[in-house]
A and B are shown apart, each in its own frame.
Chain A
Amino acid sequence: MALLALPTLLPLAACLAALGAPWSEHWGHLFGVVLPGVAGNTALLMLLVVLQAGLLGSGWAWLTARYDFPGRGLLHAALLLPLALPGYVLGFVAIHLLDYAGPVQSAWREAGGGPQPLWQIRSLYGAALILGLTLYPYVYLMAYNAYRSIGRNTLDMAATLGQTAVFRRIALPLAAPWIAGGLLLVAMEVLADFGTVALFNVQTFTTAIYKSWFGLFALDAALQLASVLVLLALALMAVQRAVQRRGRMVQRGPGLPRRRLRGGAALAASGGAAGFVLLVVGLPLGLLLRWSLAHLSVELDPRYLEWLGRSLLLAGSAAALLTASALLAAYLERRQPGRRTLQLGARAATLGYALPGTLLAVGLYAPLAALENALADWVAPGWVTQSLVLLLLGYWARFMAVAHTPISQQLARVTPSIDEAARTLGVRGWRLLHRVHRPLISGALASAAALLVIDVIKEMPITLMLRPSGFDTLATRIFELTAEGEYERAALPALTIVLAGLVPVALLLRSGHGREDRAEPTPVPLAGRPGTEALHAA
């Protein structure tokens, strides 16, 4: 069990140790110049994104949870689609479209709008806009579930007491702990985001860590920045634990009735939601498709297939490794329920999702590189730091929760009495595993593996920082191409990633989430995301 948690605990320890380490020659520069700017940017970015995601998520969710209008079911699904769009993909589409040289501002100038720029898209505000648009579905899902679990009697009660402001007086206060949980997930994602802020040239903790390491080759400075970041991440996690304990909703009796919208209101609801989704998802997908096709003859060469192959190789091996380890751990927990070390191990192993990838990368690399140096006489240089082992350890640290949470939850449903019932019927040993356990947990295994594949394909900072030199994947190619302003050439790998990202959204919708009056399990794309266990209570 300790082994399961080791890839997470090692970088955590390395970062925390760096807090107490002697100040490096860079520390003065870091502390005086870099840190204030970085901290300010990170805070402002987080505030803007959380605000935007909160408004979009809780607002759209109220529309689809409370009202009925043409196309509601479809639009509910469509509003989740941004989950499939990594911020760095939507971001470069937006930059290409809205930058000074882009078609929108060019048209404005041609129409006689003057030479001064309309806006500066490559800015903190641009990054905040894009992150808000891609992250609001976390809030949407949590809020939707919370709203739907408000009972009809609660609304009726408010009416008999003369209260007609249902949203303000009932829905929002009741859903507040869930919305807060979603917002904290968003805040964690913002803290962890690297691809989007790098693209928009915003200096935050993650980009500063990357720059210190790969620009200034100052690994110790990177580690010291990471040590500040780890405190922020742990603080967010603590807030989240506190929020989670509050306000459980238990609904008995009939569920929330939907109000049928008619005429203009129905048109505004359907049209508004459809227009929003088209603008945020449809238009970028269309542009990606168009650019991909335009450059297909150049881009669809053996090198593209090589990147794709590497992405799939990494994703496949990480998925197999993590799923198998999580399954093993879950069985150990099952054999010895309530053992403290096992529980702590599981908790530590799943901590990684709250820790930014850049932090994990630095925290893994620094001690292992030191170890490699110490053993320089016995091992070949780069036997860890230039191998896929390091990369897989990074994925392990970050994504173990994605595998462990659904698998252990599902295995917990295979209660000891199920085993005992099977035994009294003469089914034992391997036949018990095969005939009883396999059918019960294979679904959780498959969806965990699918999610891991997607998460690894999308993962940018860990891949970028821990890969052997020159080992390009789809995500790192997007990073390099967009850094050079080659947006249209980045379209094909981006489209590939987006299409892969649609899988968990489809899984989510297939799991019956959002259908009426059904016990809703933790939505698939949220599996392993800290705090989403609360959805079980909703």
Chain B
Amino acid sequence: MQLELDGVAVHYGGRPVVSDVTLTLPDGDFGCLLGPSGSGKTSLLRAIAGFVDIAAGSIRVGGETLSRPGYSREPAQRGIGMVFQDLALLPHLSVADNIAFGLNRWPRAQRRERVAQMLALTGLQAHADHHPDALSGGQQQRVALARALAPQPRLLLLDEPFSSLDTALRLSLAEQIRAIVAETATTALLVTHDQQEAFALGRHVGVVDQGTLRQWASPYDIYHRPRARSVAEFIGDGVWLPGRVDAEGRVHTELGMLGPLAQAPGSAEVDVLIRPDDILHDDASPLSATICAKAFRGAQILYRLELPSGQALKTLVPSHHNHALGQPLGIRLEMEHVIVFPRSAPPA
């Protein structure tokens, strides 16, 4: 069901850890909250689950208020399923009994049917009688998911569920999890610090930083139309290129003129966000920069470049364009969206 947060704040011992978070996750959608550790994203998730009281705002699921200051419905009464970071599987129960853990008030026949359904959905039929410690990491993950989905929750929360797995497994498992959740048409909200994970899973992605939600948008918009400097810095690779905005809204930079901007920035002195994919390698270009460092990434090479002025740039180039350090590399700027923010004070 639809999840609505409206101006939610969470305090721990009087200290705000989450403030003024507003977002809407439509029914049946998959959302991700992305942020560095300590950003408050897990606190927000625990507030939605009802483990933490909120200091301001409201939390609604399916139009029903579950939390507001001074009122918090018991976690057990919320109908919200959750997959925990450490999975919290019960070692003394078999896979089937773990999945049935929340179904103890269901009639026996229905319970058995539901467990069989969940086992089939997660592809764990062969492991129904095994204990969790006999399973692989990915299988354990699916048990935890099946257990959370079994009572047909109105909302599913996932707290960094892939953090204990190695990188190779993560994305393929994330894909499986999304398929399973989609199959049940459950609204889901996942918390992670991994951009790839968030982009792969979320139809909506929220960037959380220092307790506030900086942006809540599609992955494409988060990457290409960041609305806050912190979002642009947290997501992807990029450098800031100083520029000056003229009266027509065009931005003059060392790499030429950009724009015009659709909306005037707050100041004439701006920083332009330059992603590695905004800079193309072009030997015919009059512009060139010196290669300072390179990182081989298989299909591509990420070059770190320096302009004569000392300005740093990054570019992603197909890896057969293999150039040596210290060589000049011809470049061309090709930007679809010009993202600028008022110039920030240089770091002290």
Chain A residues within 8 Å of B, Cβ to Cβ: 151, 153-154, 156-164, 169-170, 173-174, 176-177, 247-253
Check B84 against A156 for contact (C-beta < 8 Å): yes
- Most B C-beta atoms less than 10 A away, residue of A153, A164, A173: A153
Q: How many angstroms between the C-alpha atoms of A252 and B151 in the bound complex?
A: 25
20 contacts between A and B (CB under 8 A): A151-B86, A151-B88, A153-B88, A156-B49, A156-B51, A156-B75, A157-B147, A158-B101, A160-B102, A161-B101, A161-B102, A162-B79, A163-B101, A163-B102, A174-B90, A174-B92, A247-B91, A248-B133, A249-B91, A253-B84
Instruction: Answer whether A173 and B88 are a contact pair too, CB < 8 Å, given A159-B75, A161-B147, A163-B104.
Output: no
Q: How many angstroms between the C-alpha atoms of A252 and B91 in the bound complex?
A: 13
Q: How many angstroms between the C-alpha atoms of A251 and B147 in the bound complex?
A: 19
Check B91 against A160 for contact (C-beta < 8 Å): no
Interface residues of B in 60-86 (CB under 8 A from A): 74-82, 84-86
Nearest chain-A residue to B84 (Cβ)? A153
Interface bits B141-164 vs A (CB < 8 Å: 1, else 0)? 000000110010100000000001
Q: How many angstroms between the C-alpha atoms of A517 and B258 in the bound complex?
A: 57
Instruction: Answer whether A253 and B148 are a contact pair too, CB < 8 Å, given A156-B51, A173-B90, A174-B90.
Output: no
Check A162 against B82 for contact (C-beta < 8 Å): no
Check A156 against B90 for contact (C-beta < 8 Å): no
Q: Is the interface of B mostly helix, strand, loop or mixed?
A: loop
Chain B residues within 8 Å of A, Cβ to Cβ: 46, 49-51, 74-82, 84-86, 88, 90-93, 101-102, 104-105, 133, 147-148, 151, 153, 164
Check A154 against B90 for contact (C-beta < 8 Å): yes
Q: How many angstroms between the C-alpha atoms of A163 and B82 in the bound complex?
A: 13
| Residues of chain B lying within 8 A (CB to CB) of residue A164 | 74, 76
Nearest chain-A residue to B101 (Cβ)? A161
Instruction: Answer whether A153 and B104 are a contact pair too, CB < 8 Å, given A162-B76, A164-B76, A173-B90.
Output: no
* Minimal beta-carbon separation of B197 from chain A (angstroms): 19
Check B88 against A161 for contact (C-beta < 8 Å): no
Q: How many angstroms between the C-alpha atoms of A48 and B228 in the bound complex?
A: 70
Contact of A160 among B49, B93, B164 (CB under 8 A): B49
Nearest chain-A residue to B82 (Cβ)? A160
Check B92 against A173 for contact (C-beta < 8 Å): yes
| Residues of chain A lying within 8 A (CB to CB) of residue B86 | 151, 153, 251-253
| Residues of chain B lying within 8 A (CB to CB) of residue A253 | 84-86
Check A163 against B88 for contact (C-beta < 8 Å): no
Instruction: Answer whether A162 and B91 are a contact pair too, CB < 8 Å, given A151-B86, A157-B82.
Output: no
- Most A C-beta atoms less than 10 A away, residue of B80, B88, B104: B88
| Residues of chain A lying within 8 A (CB to CB) of residue B90 | 154, 170, 173-174
Check B91 against A174 for contact (C-beta < 8 Å): yes
| Residues of chain A lying within 8 A (CB to CB) of residue B105 | 162
Check B81 against A160 for contact (C-beta < 8 Å): yes
Check A154 against B88 for contact (C-beta < 8 Å): yes
Nearest chain-B residue to A252 (Cβ)? B86
Q: How many angstroms between the C-alpha atoms of A169 and B76 in the bound complex?
A: 14
Q: How many angstroms between the C-alpha atoms of A177 and B148 in the bound complex?
A: 26
| Residues of chain A lying within 8 A (CB to CB) of residue B88 | 151, 153-154, 156-157
Check B80 against A160 for contact (C-beta < 8 Å): yes
Check B49 against A162 for contact (C-beta < 8 Å): no
Q: How many angstroms between the C-alpha atoms of A24 and B78 in the bound complex?
A: 73
The 5 closest A-B pairs by CB, nearest first: A161-B102, A159-B75, A157-B88, A252-B86, A153-B84
| Residues of chain B lying within 8 A (CB to CB) of residue A248 | 91, 133
